Structure 1
Amino acid sequence: MTLVTAEMSISLDGYFAGPRSDETDWTKSPEALGFFRITRWVVNAQSWRERMGYAGGEQSVNSDLAAELTARNGAYVMGRRMADGGEGPWGEEPPFHGPVFVVTHRERETRHCQGGTSFTYVTDGLESAIAQAREAANGKNVLISGGGTTVQQAIAAGQVDELVLHIAPVLLGEGQRLLDNLGVSTGHGRELTPERVVHTQDVTHLVYRVGKAASLFLDDRGSGDGEA
Structure 2
Amino acid sequence: MRYVFLDTETTGLDPALGHRIVEIAAVEVCNRRLTGRHFHQYVNPGRESDEGALRVHGLTQEFLRDKPVFQDICREFVEFIDNSEVFIHNAPFDTGFIDHELALIRYKPMQTYCLQIVDTLTLARELHPGRRNNLDALCERYQIDNSHRTLHGALLDAELLADVYLAMTRGQESLLMERDMSGGASQASLRAMEDLTLIIQPPNQTELVLHDQLMERIHQESKGSCLWRAEEADD
TM-score of the superposed pair, with normalisation by structure 1: 0.30
More strand by share: 1
Q: Which structure would you say has the larger RCO, counting Cα contacts within 8 Å and 6 or more residues apart?
A: 1
TM-score of the superposed pair, with normalisation by structure 2: 0.29
